[in-house]
Amino acid sequence: MRLSKMIKHVSRAYGGFLCAKCVCDRIKRAFSIEEQKIIVKVLKAQAQSQKAKLKNEAFLSDKKIKRLGEKKILSLRAPRWLSRLSVCLQLR
């Protein structure tokens, strides 16, 4: 016996006339789509933090290079006996 749509109609949250398997598939599809959205957000956040970290490291390395350059300039300006003393202390 063939049933019409009116008789097959069932009150469900995810669709009125769908069978149980179709409702289950819709729920799974919606869940996987939401999970995928969350994963994309997490990956974007990780990439952004990685980018910020690399930018910070580059900034710090530039700063360090500048400091080393200042130290070399200061060592050139220091008196000779002071540089000899530091060399002797390093040898010990």
Residue by residue, DSSP assigns 1-64 as: -PPPHHHH----TT-SS--HHHHHHHHHHHHHHHHHHHHHHHHHHHHHHHHHHHHHHHHHHHHH
pTM: 0.45
Question: Tell me, what's the pLDDT at 69?
Answer: 59
Question: Tell me, what's the pLDDT at 28?
Answer: 92
Question: Tell me, what's the pLDDT at 73?
Answer: 53
| pLDDT > 60? residue 78 | no
Domain count for the chain? 1
